[in-house]
Amino acid sequence: MGAKLVQAKLIKKEQLLSDIFKFSVKSEELVSESKPGQFLEIRITNEVVPFLRRPISIHNIDKENNVVEFIFQVKGKGTKLLSQKEEGENIDILGPLGSGIFEIKNYKNIAIIGGGIGIFPLYELVKSAPKDVTTNTYLGFRNKELVTLEEEFKKVSSNFILTTDDGSYGKSGFAINYLRDDIEKKNIDAIYACGPLPMLRAVKQLAEEKNIPCRISLEERMACGVGVCLGCAVKTASSPKDAPQYIHVCKAGPVFDAKLVEI
C-alpha cells in the first residue's frame, strides 16, 4: 500500500487549450492505489540538478484499462518541458500521494464546486460517486476561452451548472452564487471544492454559515510530496494566535475538512 516509484508509459497526449495538456499514462501500480483527491509527483528530466518533481492532481482513474490521467497547465520551464513529452515515452512518477482524499460517506445530495484549473481533480470524485448519490456540479471560469471539460463533467453529473465571470458563456457570475441558491432547494448535505483561494474561502464560509460538511483540496508548493521539505505547510484553524500550528498539505491533505484549516 502507499506511494510507489513507477515508470508509466504516456499512451495519450491531448492539448485541451493552448497551455493546458492532458496526459494518460498506463500503470497498474498507480491505478490499484489511487483515490479521488490524491496527486502524483512527476519527474521532469533525468538531469540531477535542474528540476524538482512537479505535483499534479489525479484527474481520472480508468481501472478497466490500468490508465491514470492528469491535467496540467504550462506555467514555467518545468511544465513546458513536460508538455513536450511524446506518446510512447516513459514518465517517472512517484505516487499516488496524499492521505487526505475526497470521500462521499453517507451523503445523498452533494455539491461539487470548482474554479479554473482547480476543476481537474474533481472529475474522479463525480465519476465515482455511488449511483444513489445526486451530484450537483458547479464549474466557474473567468471567460469562454478558458472553459475546459464541459462535456466530460456534464456526462457524469446529475445536475450541472457552468458559469463565467464575465457572462461570455454559460451562466453569468460566480459559481458559488448558484450553489448558494441551491443549498435549500436541492437539500445539499455536503460540499466538495477545489479552485483558487478566494473561491475556497467563500465556499468554506458558506458551508460554515449553513452548517454543511465541506472538504476542500488545497494547492501548495509540494516539492517533495512526503512532508520532508516543509514547503507546503498551512495553519490549522484551531491554532492559538501566539503559537500557530501547521500541517502539511502533501501529507495530511491535499483534501481537508474545511473547518480544520485556516485559508
Would you say residue 2 has pLDDT above 90?
no
What percentage of the chain carries pLDDT values higher than 90?
Answer: 78
For position 6, what pLDDT does the model report?
A: 96
Statement: residue 47 has pLDDT above 80? no
Rg of the chain over all Cα atoms, to the nearest angstrom: 18
The tens digit of pLDDT for each residue in 187-236 reads 999 999 999 999 999 999 999 999 999 999 997 666 666 666 666 778 78
**Is the domain of 114 the same as that of 209?**
yes
Residues 10 and 75 in one domain: yes
Question: In this structure, what are the phi and psi dihedrals at residue 63, rounded to the nearest 5 degrees?
Answer: -70, -35
Residue 134 grid cell: 445526486
Residue 63 has pLDDT above 80, yes or no: yes
* Distance in angstroms (rounded) separating the CA atoms of residues 183 and 181: 6
Whether residue 81 is predicted with pLDDT greater than 60 in this model: the reply is yes
Q: Check pLDDT > 60 for residue 48.
A: no
Which helix H or strand E contains 210, and what residues bound it? helix 197-210
| CA distances (Å), origin 231, targets 46, 115, 197 | 23, 24, 17
Q: Measured between alpha carbons, how far is 43 from 10 in angstroms, rounded to an integer?
A: 13
d(C-alpha 22, C-alpha 29), whole Å: 20
* Residue 123: inside a domain: yes
Residue 248 lies in a domain: no
Pick the more confident residue, 225 or 49.
225
Q: What is the CATH number of the domain that holds 82?
A: 2.40.30.10
Find, among 16, 147, 37, 146, the residue nearest to 83 by Cα.
16
Domain containing residue 117: 109-218
Residue 258, in any domain of the structure: no
User: Contact at 8 Å (CB) between 187 and 141?
Assistant: no
Note whether residue 133 is domain-resident. yes
**Residue 229, pLDDT score:** 67
How many angstroms separate the CA atoms of 260 and 101, rounded? 14
Residue 87 and residue 163 in one domain: no
- Single out the residue in 42, 68, 97 at which a domain terminates: 97
Q: What is the mean pLDDT of residues 60-88?
A: 96
CA 168 to chain centre: 25
User: Is the same domain home to 77 and 144?
Assistant: no
What is residue 117's predicted lDDT score, i.e. its pLDDT?
Answer: 95
Confidence bin at 50 (pLDDT 50/70/90): low
Confidence bin at 45 (pLDDT 50/70/90): confident
pLDDT score recorded for residue 52: 80
Judge if 84 and 115 occupy the same domain: no
DSSP H helices in 75-114: 77-83
Residue 229, burial from CB neighbour count under 10 angstroms (0-12, 13-18, 19+): middle
> Considering 68, 97, 126, which residue would you say is the last residue of a domain?
97
Q: Where are the beta strands (DSSP E) in 78-212?
A: 90-97, 109-115, 134-141, 159-164, 171-172, 190-194
Q: Tell me the C-alpha distance between 5 and 42, whole Å.
A: 10
Q: By the 8 A CB rule, do 219 and 118 touch?
A: yes
SS3 28: helix
- Spatial separation of the C-alpha atoms in residues 261 and 256, rounded to whole Å: 7
pLDDT for 75: 92
pLDDT of residue 169: 98
Note the pLDDT of residue 230: 63
In a domain, 86, yes or no: yes
- Structural domain includes residue 208: yes
Per-residue model confidence as pLDDT tens digits over 108-152: 999 999 999 999 999 999 999 999 999 999 999 999 999 999 999
Q: Is the pTM of this model over 0.85?
A: yes
Q: What is the CATH number of the domain that holds 150?
A: 3.40.50.80
pLDDT beyond 80 at 22: yes
Q: How many CB atoms lie within 10 A of CB 46?
A: 6
pLDDT in tens, 5-16: 999 999 999 999
Asked if residue 71 belongs to a domain, the reply is yes
How far is Cα 257 from Cα 216, in angstroms, rounded to an integer? 7
* Within a domain: 103: no
